[in-house]
């Protein structure tokens, strides 16, 4: 059995899988509850592999899935460059996993590895640096998901994968331009703050805002708290909302929030078109819910001028949203994070090698 772990604004998430099926999954609000849950799972099931989804591993992890050993972990920690936004909760989870599942194989799923070869002009910021590939660069996020979607598109119709825009609709939406399956630009920045506004994050803002707050005596920690925990969707209703809740809400206070989110996504798609010099296909990745697919259609209708031929809101079994003869095709891919992570394991060559040798190794 394999245990998969990650963390987000909702808490610490776990999923226990066996032969492509989820046996158990859930979310714990704090690390102590997670510890209790993992101890119980350890007593009940034989867990051979533990996988951790870490969104930003800096440049230490160059593959979407890697064996996690102590030196790799040390490098990842060094690359976690800015405090709370850099997956510090996952550091706790990794330590906990190692303690409880000492005899299991430990793997790291890396969200940023996908972006390591993006052009420098797309990832560098225009600030002074001895090394243009220094600390401050766009790192990308959800690479595992965008790569999965890109591969899925290639499998359906490789001829449409040349210039592709991939939009992950979630509490932390991001948009990536892909050229022949490789990312060439992304909305995600150096940290989770940059890009499209999120559930509680401000997204791209004028940096003078930070300077004004610093000048008026706000501490770094307080500003980070405001920008990462009290902004985004939450700033409109002072309440944490899921994307589905936001787009279905009738609350008047949320009309502007919906408008802004919609507007930012549309602008990001336009930026990607300019960088790709056009577009062959558009992928929406989101939950398996009708309301999300409907919303993707609303977004898509804004893009009709590009030459898309729409069909009547009937997504086929391959997720096709446009007419079969549309010069630009659009797909909606239902997304289940745990299935995507599990599918990556099948492709990892080193795991096949281990399986052939029939051995499990404690990497710590």
Partner 1 sequence: MSYKVFDLQNGQKVNLLLKGKAYRVGVKGTEASYIENKWNGNIDKEIVDIPDHRSAARMAADFIVSRGIRVDAIGHRFVHGGDHFKRSLIIDNDILLKIKECLPLAPLHNPISYSIIQEAMSGFKDIPHYLVIDSAFHSTIEPKAYHYPLPVKVIERFKFRKFGFHGISYSYICDQMPKLINIASEKLNMIVCHLGTGGASVMAVKNGVSVDTSMGFSPNSGLIMSTRSGDIDPAILLYLAKNSGMGPAEIEAILNNKSGLQGISGFSSDITDIISHMNDEAVEERAKLAFEMYIHRLKSYIGSYIMILQGRLNALVFTDDVGVGNPLIREKVCEPLAWAGIKIDKVKNNEAKNDRATFLQSPLSKVDIVSVPTDEELMICLEGGNLLGGKQ
- Per the CB < 8 A criterion, the answer to whether 326 and 309 are in contact is yes
In degrees, rounded to 5, the angle at the alpha carbon of residue 140 between the alpha carbons of residues 135 and 144 is 135
Binder among 23, 72, 100, 275 for partner 1 (CB under 8 A): 275
- What are the backbone dihedrals phi and psi of residue 286, each rounded to the nearest 5 degrees, phi first? -165, -175
List binders of partner 1 among 67-96 (CB under 8 A). 81-83, 85
Q: Mask 156-195, x = binds partner 1 (CB under 8 A)?
A: -----------------------------x---xxxxxx-
Longest dimension (CA), the chain: 62
Quick count: other Cβ atoms within 10 Å of Cβ 353?
10
Is residue 320 within the footprint of partner 1 (CB under 8 A)? no
Is residue 226 within the footprint of partner 1 (CB under 8 A)? yes
The nearest distance, CB 97 to partner 1, in angstroms, is 27
Is residue 305 within the footprint of partner 1 (CB under 8 A)? yes
**CA proximity to 332, closest of 134, 75, 84, 149:** 149
Q: Which tokens belong to 61?
A: 């992890």
The nearest distance, CB 209 to partner 1, in angstroms, is 5
Binder among 259, 290, 316, 336 for partner 1 (CB under 8 A): 259
List binders of partner 1 among 112-151 (CB under 8 A). 119-122, 124-129, 132, 135-136, 138
Q: Give the separation between CA 73 and CA 87, rounded to whole angstroms.
A: 13
* Comparison of 149 and 175: residue with beta carbon closer to partner 1: 175
Q: Which tokens belong to 341?
A: 């992570």
The nearest distance, CB 300 to partner 1, in angstroms, is 12
The nearest distance, CB 229 to partner 1, in angstroms, is 10
Binder among 19, 20, 159, 215 for partner 1 (CB under 8 A): 215
Binder among 46, 252, 277, 325 for partner 1 (CB under 8 A): 277
DSSP-assigned beta bridge partners for residue 52: 5, 108
Is residue 210 within the footprint of partner 1 (CB under 8 A)? yes
* Comparison of 178 and 342: residue with beta carbon closer to partner 1: 178
Binder among 220, 298, 323, 355 for partner 1 (CB under 8 A): 220
The nearest distance, CB 61 to partner 1, in angstroms, is 21
Q: Give the separation between CA 302 and CA 295, rounded to whole angstroms.
A: 11
**CA proximity to 232, closest of 195, 264, 202, 259:** 202
The nearest distance, CB 175 to partner 1, in angstroms, is 11
- Per the CB < 8 A criterion, the answer to whether 137 and 123 are in contact is yes
Binder among 48, 155, 214, 298 for partner 1 (CB under 8 A): 214
Q: Give the separation between CA 171 and CA 342, rounded to whole angstroms.
A: 22
- What are the backbone dihedrals phi and psi of residue 94, each rounded to the nearest 5 degrees, phi first? -60, -45
Is residue 299 within the footprint of partner 1 (CB under 8 A)? no
């Amino acid at each position: 059995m394999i245990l998969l772990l990650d963390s987000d604004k909702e808490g610490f998430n776990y999923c226990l899988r066996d032969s492509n099926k989820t046996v158990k999954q859930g979310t714990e609000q704090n690390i102590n509850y997670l510890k209790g849950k993992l101890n119980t799972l350890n007593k009940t099931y034989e867990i051979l592999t533990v996988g951790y989804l870490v969104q930003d591993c800096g440049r230490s992890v160059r593959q979407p899935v890697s064996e996690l050993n102590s030196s790799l972990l040390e490098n990842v920690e060094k690359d976690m460059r800015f405090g709370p936004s850099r997956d510090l909760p996952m550091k706790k989870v990794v330590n906990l996993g190692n303690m409880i599942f000492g005899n299991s194989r430990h793997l790291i799923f890396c969200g940023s590895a996908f972006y390591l070869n993006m052009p420098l002009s797309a990832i560098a910021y225009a600030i002074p640096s001895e090394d243009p590939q220094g600390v401050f660069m766009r790192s990308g996020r959800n690479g595992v998901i965008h790569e999965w979607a890109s591969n899925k598109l290639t499998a359906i119709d490789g001829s449409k994968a040349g210039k592709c825009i991939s939009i992950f609709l979630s509490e932390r939406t991001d948009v990536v331009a892909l050229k022949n399956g490789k990312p060439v630009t992304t909305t995600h920045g150096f940290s989770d703050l940059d890009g499209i506004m999120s559930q509680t994050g401000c997204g791209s803002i004028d940096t003078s805002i930070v300077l004004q707050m610093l000048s008026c005596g706000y501490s770094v920690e307080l500003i980070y708290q405001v920008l990462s925990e009290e902004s985004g969707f939450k700033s409109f209703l002072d309440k944490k909302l899921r994307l589905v809740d936001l787009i279905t809400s009738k609350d008047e206070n949320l009309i502007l929030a919906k408008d802004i989110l919609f507007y930012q996504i549309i602008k990001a798609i336009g930026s990607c078109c300019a960088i790709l010099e056009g577009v062959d296909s558009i992928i929406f990745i989101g939950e398996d819910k009708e309301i999300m697919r409907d919303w993707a259609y609303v977004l898509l209708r804004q893009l009709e001028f590009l030459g898309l031929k729409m069909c009547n809101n009937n997504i086929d079994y391959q997720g096709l949203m446009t007419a079969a003869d549309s010069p630009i095709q659009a797909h909606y891919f239902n997304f289940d994070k745990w299935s995507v992570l599990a599918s990556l394991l099948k492709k990892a060559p080193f795991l096949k090698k281990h399986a052939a040798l029939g051995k499990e190794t404690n990497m710590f």
